Chain A
Amino acid sequence: MNNPQLDKNGELQHLLTIDGLPRAMINHIMDTAASFLNLAEREVKKVPLLRGKAIFNLFFEPSTRTRTTFEIAAKKLSADVINLNIDASSASKGETLLDTVDNLTAMQADMFVVRHAQSGAAHFIARHVAPHIHVVNAGDGRHAHPTQGLLDMFTIRHYKQEFHNLRVAIVGDVLHSRVARSQIHALTTLGVPEVRVIAPKTLLPSGVEHMGVHVYHDMKPGLKDVDVIIMLRLQNERMRGALLPSAQEYFKYYGLTVDKLALANPGAIVMHPGPMNRGVEIDSDVADGVQSVILSQVTFGIAVRMAVMSILVGGHA
């Protein structure tokens, strides 16, 4: 089966998922992101790489944060950005997903940044767009959020330099998390020797160990000797549907407090893809503490998205 992310020359045509991306490509994206980082110090914080290109943000699921970061990244590359928020009601007014995509193609789009509630939506759109259009998956259902995974890896590289000697723990609702899946693929591809998931059984998908992770249900052994702790957001609706009894019990056993953090290695960094539920998965003292790198994740997110967009649009020698 042809990897739909690559064009016929094996170059990256779309970014849909980290699953199947070669390690060299992940490193290339991170290296490129590093070169975009120091733009912030210049007077003119833009570069003309994507001037004249039209990037359409197709958000079928609302999200101000992610959409704004993509918009900022695109504008820093001098691209034109058009935002489309297509909520359920306008979609149900009859226009199919493919019709929407076709109409936008006719409006001379060069790139679609897509967020959708269905797993596989970005793959679906990529399969049907005209050959010159690039698709960036900004989150599809539970499946993947590759730019988040990449910026998380960039963050880890920034603070820890190497991957080959790390222990990383991902804590929380892995079952519903596209971020967690992307992180797991990235960490294993980059050669992190020990990737752990820590969660109650109700929040872990079947056979998750086949993705290359060690499963823990108890934070005490789970966080021991860990260098990087990634906290996942717990959504309120998990309390309905018999997955969890209450936020209080969850926080007591799976929330990251200063005491729990002390179980990890002394220099461990704390990450969170955001937005945080303070007091549910993470304590404010930790979120605002010295080991937290959560804010830098946001900064790195812009550079990483600039890198992804440039690599997709740029030709190849």
Chain B
Amino acid sequence: MTQLPDAEQLALDLAHRIGLYLSEPGRAASCALVGIHTGGAWLAERLQQALGGDLPLGALDVSFYRDDFQRIGLHPETKPSRIPFEVEGCHIILIDDVLNTGRTVRAAMNYLFDYGRPASISLAVMIDRGGRELPVAARFVGAAIDLERSRNIQLERGADGRLSLSLKEAV
């Protein structure tokens, strides 16, 4: 069994590469970070800190946009979504913890487009575990990991705020 990478280190790596992206002239002024609840929102908070703390930060819950509603229904505990900046004309960095089939990202993009027309959306993920079912690609990837379908990888946040990765059996 492969050793799981250190989540905190991956976050720093991502922040470094996003930082390079932001350093292009005029870019930073029209950028914002949006994390997908729950793991993506944690990661987005960490990245915002690491990038200096002044980028606009939003979070969204894709429950109402999922495509499997007919099959599995609604989870009642949707987290509140907040987009405290103007989406119109914005370069959004959409952030999630694990990229798998691509459906969550599709739902998140639909959600953002309900707010307005962004100038661009770039995807940043801590882990790309493959298994795409839609044409979705991440611009910033912390690590690519091959996993059997029977297992899931999960981002966790400890009481002290430390991020860590763990493996779980798929339900």
Residues on A lying within 8 angstroms of B by beta carbon are 28, 31-32, 35, 38, 42-44, 46-49, 310-311, 313-317
Report the Cα distance A13→B154, complex, angstroms. Answer: 34
Whether the Cβ atoms of A311 and B74 lie closer than 8 Å is: yes
Whether the Cβ atoms of B81 and A38 lie closer than 8 Å is: yes
Known: A47-B64, A315-B69. A32 touches B76 (CB 8 A): yes
Whether the Cβ atoms of A310 and B74 lie closer than 8 Å is: yes
Report the Cα distance A317→B116, complex, angstroms. Answer: 33
Report the minimal beta-carbon distance from B121 to chain A, rounded to whole angstroms.
17
Known: A44-B114, A47-B65, A48-B110. A38 touches B76 (CB 8 A): no
Q: Tell whether B70 is near chain A: CB-to-CB under 8 Å.
A: yes
- Tally of B interface residues using CB under 8 Å: 20
A-B contact pairs, 30 of them (CB 8 A): A31-B76, A31-B77, A32-B76, A35-B61, A35-B76, A35-B77, A35-B78, A38-B80, A43-B114, A43-B115, A43-B116, A46-B114, A47-B64, A47-B65, A48-B110, A49-B74, A310-B69, A310-B73, A310-B74, A311-B73, A311-B74, A314-B70, A314-B72, A314-B73, A315-B69, A315-B70, A316-B72, A316-B73, A317-B72, A317-B73
Report the Cα distance A316→B69, complex, angstroms. Answer: 9
Give me the 10 closest cross-chain CB pairs, A-B, nearest first: A314-B73, A44-B114, A47-B64, A35-B78, A31-B76, A315-B71, A317-B72, A32-B76, A316-B73, A315-B73
Please name all residues of chain B whose beta carbon is closer than 8 Å to the beta carbon of A31 when the two chains form the complex.
76-77
Closest A residue to B116 by beta carbon equals A43
Closest B residue to A43 by beta carbon equals B115
Q: Which of B61, B69, B71, B74 sits near A32, CB closer than 8 Å?
A: B74
Known: A31-B77, A42-B114, A43-B115. A48 touches B72 (CB 8 A): no
Q: Tell whether B104 is near chain A: CB-to-CB under 8 Å.
A: no
Please name all residues of chain A whose beta carbon is closer than 8 Å to the beta carbon of B73 when the two chains form the complex.
310-311, 314-317
Whether the Cβ atoms of A49 and B72 lie closer than 8 Å is: no
Please name all residues of chain A whose beta carbon is closer than 8 Å to the beta carbon of B74 when the two chains form the complex.
32, 49, 310-311, 314
Q: Which of A28, A35, A46 sits near B63, CB closer than 8 Å?
A: A35
Please name all residues of chain A whose beta carbon is closer than 8 Å to the beta carbon of B68 when the two chains form the complex.
315
Please name all residues of chain A whose beta carbon is closer than 8 Å to the beta carbon of B70 when the two chains form the complex.
313-315
Report the Cα distance A47→B76, complex, angstroms. Answer: 15
The contact string, 1 if C-beta is below 8 Å from chain A, for chain B 55-96, is 000000101110011111110111011000000000000000
Report the minimal beta-carbon distance from B81 to chain A, rounded to whole angstroms.
7
Please name all residues of chain A whose beta carbon is closer than 8 Å to the beta carbon of B64 when the two chains form the complex.
47-49
Closest B residue to A28 by beta carbon equals B76
Known: A35-B63, A43-B114, A44-B114. A49 touches B69 (CB 8 A): yes
Q: Which of A28, A32, A313, A315 sits near B72, CB closer than 8 Å?
A: A315
Report the minimal beta-carbon distance from A199 to chain B, rounded to whole angstroms.
36
Which of B61, B65, B76, B81 is most buried by chain A, counting CB atoms within 10 A of its CB? B76
